[in-house]
């Protein structure tokens, strides 16, 4: 089984958004997939089963998808799955046992990668196994389809490549009452519709491209 982590040192950067679409997307490619929710809040469970989730720990969503709620980080996983996608927590207080299991980890960056992130990235890297392939993944991009020179330098310095697949903002759901600015939220209507770029990421995973980089 290939173990995939979606992790970051903070909340609201799109971990659950990305993890859920990886689960759906890999299942669409014919794979059997476990989604493992490491967050107390159970956002992956709620989002993937519908908002009526009632703290069941194991939920079979379809023939090919099973979700496990594992906020305590227990690592016994059922057999018979090709992929396990771990949806991280707001802080990287994920047990070393789980971090050590990861073959590949995607780190969503919402907004531009800055020097400030470089420090967080380095400390994240220290907690990870050297055998885990790590990739930065730009999320919630608007007009950017390019990586700036500064970002390339930061990525090089920390030694974590930025994937050239930026995930755009999908659906604008509402305006913030406080600031009048748009708030980007998963739209329930779009649940399970895997955005094209996340389909590409699923191919990248299924084809084993991540092992070659």
Q: How far is residue 119 CA from its own chain's centroid? A: 20
CA distance 174 to 135: 31
Q: How many residues bind Mg ion (CB under 5 A)?
A: 3
Give CA angle at 195 (46, 182), nearest 5°: 70
CA distance 14 to 137: 10
* Residue 16 in the binding site for Mg ion (CB under 5 A): yes
Residue 106: CB minimum distance to ligand ADP, A = 11
Give CA angle at 206 (205, 208), nearest 5°: 65
Which does residue 13 touch among Mg ion, ligand ADP, none (CB within 5 to 8 A, set by kind)?
A: ligand ADP
Radius of gyration of the chain (CA): 16
Residue 10: CB minimum distance to Mg ion, A = 10
Binding site for ligand ADP (CB under 6 A): 8, 11-17, 43, 139-140, 167, 169-170, 184-186
CA distance 59 to 65: 9
Q: Looking at beta carbons only, is 11 or 82 nearer to ligand ADP? A: 11
The Cβ of residue 73 has, within 10 Å, a number of other Cβ atoms equal to 16
Which does residue 166 touch among Mg ion, ligand ADP, none (CB within 5 to 8 A, set by kind)?
A: none
Residue 145: CB minimum distance to ligand ADP, A = 14
Q: What part of residues 115-134 is at the interface with Mg ion (CB under 5 A)?
A: none
Q: Looking at beta carbons only, is 29 or 46 nearer to Mg ion? A: 46
Q: Looking at beta carbons only, is 174 or 212 nearer to ligand ADP? A: 174
């Amino acid at each position: 089984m290939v173990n995939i982590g979606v992790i970051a040192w903070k909340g609201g950067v799109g971990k659950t958004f990305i993890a859920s679409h990886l689960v759906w997307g890999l299942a669409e490619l014919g794979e059997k997939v476990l989604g493992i929710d490491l967050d107390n809040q159970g956002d992956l469970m709620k989002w993937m089963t519908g908002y009526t989730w009632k703290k069941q720990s194991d939920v079979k969503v379809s023939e090919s998808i099973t979700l496990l709620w594992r906020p305590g980080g227990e690592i016994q996983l059922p057999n018979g799955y090709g992929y396990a996608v771990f949806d991280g927590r707001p802080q990287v207080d994920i047990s070393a046992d789980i971090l050590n299991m990861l073959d590949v980890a995607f780190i969503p960056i919402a907004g531009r990668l800055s020097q400030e992130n470089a420090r967080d990235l380095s400390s994240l890297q220290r907690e990870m196994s050297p055998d885990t392939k790590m990739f930065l993944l730009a999320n919630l991009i608007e007009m950017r389809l390019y990586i700036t020179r500064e970002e390339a330098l930061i990525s090089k310095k920390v030694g974590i490549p930025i994937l050239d697949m930026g995930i755009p903002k999908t659906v604008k759901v509402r305006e913030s009452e406080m600031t009048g600015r748009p708030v980007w939220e998963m739209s329930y209507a779009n649940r399970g519709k895997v955005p094209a770029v996340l389909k590409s990421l699923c191919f990248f995973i299924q084809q084993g491209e991540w092992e070659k980089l």
